Structures are given as C-alpha cells and as structure tokens.
Chains A and B, each alone.
Chain A
C-alpha cells in the first residue's frame, strides 16, 4: 500500500501575526514554523498504517527550502521518503495542481492531508485535488479504517458525525482523533538523515487568485468589568447597550 501525506509548513499556533511592506508580506520575524497540526495527525495515521497495513509512506510539501526541516521531521516521525515540489505555494489552486500533477505519475492508494492549513485556512485542497483526479475526497476525517481496499470513515459534520464507506484510492483531510500524535525519537531522527529526500521542479500551473494585502482585526475597545454581586448589571448591558440578548 502506498500512502502520500501532504504537509504544510506554517507558523506555530501561538505565533503573533504581523505584516510588513505596507501589509503585503507576512512578517516572519521571531516566528517559529511547524508542521500544520492537522498534518501531524495525517503523518501519525500514515505511520500507524505502516505497521498495520504494510504501507510505504511518502511525505510531500509544495514550498521552498524553508520547508525542509518540516519534511525532515516527518521522516523522523516515520515517513519513508520526502519530496518537495520547489515552488512558492501561490494560491490554493496552484498548490492543488502541483499535488495532482505529482499524484498522476504515481500509484498512491491513500492520500492524507490535514483538514486545513492553519495559515490560509482554505480547507479545500483535498477536494480540489480529488476533483482534478477523479478520486473521492473527504474531510474532516476523524476515524479511518482500511481493510483490503475497503474504507470505513467517520467525518465530522455540524453537530455530530457522519459514517461513510468507500474504497481506495481515497483522499482524506485528517483531524483529531484519527491517530495519536507521534513525536520523533532519537532513532527516528538518526535514520531520517539517510532516507530519500527529493526536490523536484514545479509543474506548469496557473493561479486563479492573488493576494492584494493583509489586515489585522480591529482591536477590542477595552473591557467593562462588572462586580460579581451585580450580575443583573451584566444582563442590563447585554440587553440595552450591546443589544445582543
């Protein structure tokens, strides 16, 4: 069984977000980069399937060399080989086309991604790639069981869950609790150094959108504190000042 895991290389969830160059560039000063948390689930699930389904796991990123530490980390967690498509991830369409173009030349049974990247929060690359290739795509997947080529999945929907059955090949956008998060151990870190790591040229692709600029949310005007013995005042303010109840 061949598995592809697509990962993002994104600012840590605790990062303070700021922009430079007249709000046209992300300011990466003092920002720690990580594998997207949802893709941590995807890698962990793939590594689980290595032992249970004898899978071979390739990890893929569309990005420049800054992403290499994240790919190395994925190898250290247990992926067998890494591929970086050497391109700036321009827009969702561009990224999806890069992934689809790579997949076309291969024979993956399962493609795992995160439910969304935590930088641009598009949450649609899995569906775009699925439609481009004619492969079923589902997200966010909370449970995934594979028996031969039969798949049972649990997908989160508003207010609950949906149970699905389909067959491979399949694309799944992962989220908790699909697998226990894995962290690299010393042996993993050592062996990662000798695993195949390929950098390939970007495929020809258009973009269909482009960034004009960024904005930060308006700051809150400051808090009004209410005495715990005057709860009725909170009710009064919510009703007559904020007009929300």
Chain B
C-alpha cells in the first residue's frame, strides 16, 4: 500500500506546508508500513525533487504537463484519483489550502473514503484509526474515527512541523495529460500580492488591529514583519473598514493561523480573534490597554503604546542581526 501526498507549489517551488505534509506522510508510513508517494503538477525547480526526499518521500511523481498550472480543482481531483488507484493508495494526505481541501473532498467521494480536514496531529492507531481535528474555530479538538478502509486527511499548519526523514526519492515523470472534459470553470485571472509571505505558510505572523488608528500607520507593522520574515495579518474590524485586504483577516471568520510566533499589535483579543490564533505556539501582545483580554491568552506582553514599542522592537531586531 502507499500513502499519496499532494504537493502544492508557489511558483515552481513546493510550498512549506506541503513539505510538512510529506513529513506527516512519512511519520505515518512508519506506523502503517507504507510507501510515501508524492505528486506534484506542472513546472518545478530541478532541486525540489531532492528536497522531497529529505522529508521522507519514497517516490515523487511529477506530472509535468504545464497546463496543470492553470487548472481548476476538478481537474486535479480526477488526476490525483487516477494516480491513487495506480499506486494502490489507501491514504491521501494534503496540507490544507483553498485548492487542496476541495480536491480532498472530491477524492473522498471518488474513493468511498473517510475524510477529515483541519487535522492537527498524527493519527492515533491504537484501537481504531482516529485523528485529532480542530473544531469550534480553534476553541476545541475532536478525536474522529475514520471508519472506511481508505482515508483522506487534510492537515493544518504546524500539525507536526517539518520533520526530516532522509530518503532518496525516486523521481518519476508522468505523462498524464490534463483532461479538458473535466474543466468545469475557467480561471480568468488571479490577483495576489507577490513577494509577500503567505499568511497560512508563515512561521511568524505580525498582526495589527484598530489600535493602529488608521491604514496610514501600517508602515511600522510592515517593517517589523520584514525584519522578522513574517506575514502580515489584521483583525476583523480592520479588514471590515477596508484598512487592510480581506485575505489578511485573522480570526474565526477569517484565516486561522498556526505560526510559531504570533505578534498582536493593538488588537484587544475578542473571542472571535482568539479562535483564529489559538494554535499559535507563542503569542506576544502589545497593547496600551492593560485590560485587553488578549493578555490572558498570551505568553509575553507589553502594556504600552504601540507607536513607541514597535519602532523600538524593530531597532533591537536590527541591532541583533
């Protein structure tokens, strides 16, 4: 049997979240004695194949029909389903994303499989195959038994982190072609901020809220993020009034993040915001209101004026580089 891992790219590089999915597949393969077969579509940097081996890929299937780089969900789902059949895949793993979760759902239907999204730990195989998944928008976890023989798992960022399991991934170039009959929508364009670290991918997130007083004051937030190599987030009120784009909104009804470090500047910490950040390993809160509820849910805090504290923090980071 094999574990199929879907790898998503950023340009022609494999996303970090997908590398984590390889680690997840590799750790799981030790328990179920399976081969880890990774699948990537379209243009790929030549060094990326080797990288998959570092995290425990046994075989990388590279479907190099570059038409896939513009493909819709349905096309990927059926291609992956075919590969899963050819490779005797019993378990399908992917890192959660706007592309991957719908693909996972479609494959679950095609394979008559059990499915779990939002998975936050390695499966527990002691009695039955169960996974821990984040529910109530980060306020709780459920242990869910996946009862069907085939299982589809979409993991959250930092479910297990990047774990190295060096293997020499064999690379197989697949001549699978995009099937035009499966195109159920046309992608007419995308609008993405380029050169920025993606919020769900980031190790560090710097987030700011209404305490910034206006969009013109985001310069120092961006500066701090740049110094730390962090992605930028914001609270709901800030994206609601249009100070920042919606895709930066972190919270229960926005992006749920799980970075190693989350820095909240001028965010009071409403329960809906906390739900979106509760999976962060370390939380730092900078707020001039000592009563801000966020302080109860943080690891480190500074009660002070963001307009003084943040520039100082940028300065200290620069001095210590």
Check: A209 CB closer than 8 A to any chain B CB.
Answer: yes
Contacting residues of chain A (218-245) with chain B, CB-CB under 8 angstroms: 220-221, 223-228, 231-232, 234-235, 237-239, 242, 244-245
B98–A209 CB distance below 8 A? no
A244–B260 CB distance below 8 A? yes
B188–A165 CB distance below 8 A? yes
Q: Which of B143, B145, B192, B317 contacts A159 (CB 8 A)?
A: B192
Check: B125 CB closer than 8 A to any chain A CB.
Answer: no
Task: Collect the chain B residues with CB atoms within 8 Å of residue A210's CB.
Answer: 144-145, 147
A37–B300 CB distance below 8 A? no
- Given A131-B106, A226-B300, A164 contacting B320 (CB threshold 8 A): no
A163–B188 CB distance below 8 A? yes
Q: Which of A119, A214, A227 contacts B143 (CB 8 A)?
A: A214
Chain A min CB distance to B236 (Å): 9
- Given A159-B196, A244-B204, A244-B261, A212 contacting B312 (CB threshold 8 A): no
Task: Collect the chain B residues with CB atoms within 8 Å of residue A153's CB.
Answer: 185
Q: How large is the interface on A (under 10, 10 to 19, 20 to 34, 35 or more residues)?
A: 35 or more
B320–A127 CB distance below 8 A? no
B301–A164 CB distance below 8 A? no
Q: Which of A13, A226, A234, A239 contacts B272 (CB 8 A)?
A: A13
Check: B302 CB closer than 8 A to any chain A CB.
Answer: yes
Residue on A with the closest CB to B197?
A159
Task: Collect the chain A residues with CB atoms within 8 Å of residue B101's CB.
Answer: 123-124, 127
Task: Collect the chain B residues with CB atoms within 8 Å of residue A211's CB.
Answer: 142-145
B109–A166 CB distance below 8 A? no
A136–B192 CB distance below 8 A? no
Check: A137 CB closer than 8 A to any chain B CB.
Answer: yes
Chain A min CB distance to B280 (Å): 10
Task: Collect the chain B residues with CB atoms within 8 Å of residue A238's CB.
Answer: 261, 282, 284, 300
Q: Which of A138, A142, A231 contacts B302 (CB 8 A)?
A: A231
Contacting residues of chain B (276-316) with chain A, CB-CB under 8 angstroms: 278, 281-285, 295-305, 308-309, 312-313, 316
Check: B213 CB closer than 8 A to any chain A CB.
Answer: no
Q: When each residue 178-205 of chain B gets 1 if its CB lies under 8 Å from chain A and 0 otherwise, what string results?
A: 0000001111111111001011110110
Residue on B with the closest CB to A158?
B198
Q: How large is the interface on B (under 10, 10 to 19, 20 to 34, 35 or more residues)?
A: 35 or more
A175–B253 CB distance below 8 A? yes
Q: When each residue 120-140 of chain A gets 1 if its CB lies under 8 Å from chain B and 0 otherwise, what string results?
A: 111110111011100011111
Task: Collect the chain A residues with CB atoms within 8 Å of residue B207's CB.
Answer: none
Task: Collect the chain B residues with CB atoms within 8 Å of residue A186's CB.
Answer: none
B118–A209 CB distance below 8 A? no
Contacting residues of chain A (97-122) with chain B, CB-CB under 8 angstroms: 118-122
Check: B177 CB closer than 8 A to any chain A CB.
Answer: no
Q: Give Cα A159–Cα B134 distance, bound, in whole angstroms.
A: 22
Task: Collect the chain B residues with CB atoms within 8 Å of residue A138's CB.
Answer: 73, 102, 185
A137–B316 CB distance below 8 A? no
Chain B min CB distance to A182 (Å): 17
- Given A118-B252, A124-B105, A164-B187, A215 contacting B300 (CB threshold 8 A): no
Check: A161 CB closer than 8 A to any chain B CB.
Answer: yes
Chain B min CB distance to A203 (Å): 16
Query: Which residues of B line the A interface, CB within 8 A?
Result: 72-74, 77, 97-99, 101-102, 104-106, 108-110, 113-118, 128, 130, 132-148, 184-193, 196, 198-201, 203-204, 228, 246-247, 252-253, 260-261, 271-272, 275, 278, 281-285, 295-305, 308-309, 312-313, 316-317, 320
Q: Which 9 A-B pairs have the closest CB atoms?
A: A228-B304, A160-B192, A127-B105, A166-B185, A124-B105, A136-B184, A131-B109, A244-B261, A127-B102
Query: Which residues of A line the B interface, CB within 8 A?
Result: 11, 13-15, 17, 19, 37-38, 91-93, 118-124, 126-128, 130-132, 136-140, 142, 152-153, 155-166, 175-177, 207-217, 220-221, 223-228, 231-232, 234-235, 237-239, 242, 244-245
Ordered by A's residue number, 27 sampled pairs between the chains whose C-beta atoms are within 8 Å are A11-B136, A13-B272, A17-B136, A38-B253, A123-B101, A124-B102, A131-B106, A142-B246, A157-B99, A164-B188, A166-B184, A166-B186, A176-B246, A176-B253, A208-B148, A210-B144, A212-B128, A212-B144, A216-B139, A216-B140, A220-B296, A221-B299, A225-B295, A226-B300, A234-B302, A242-B282, A245-B228
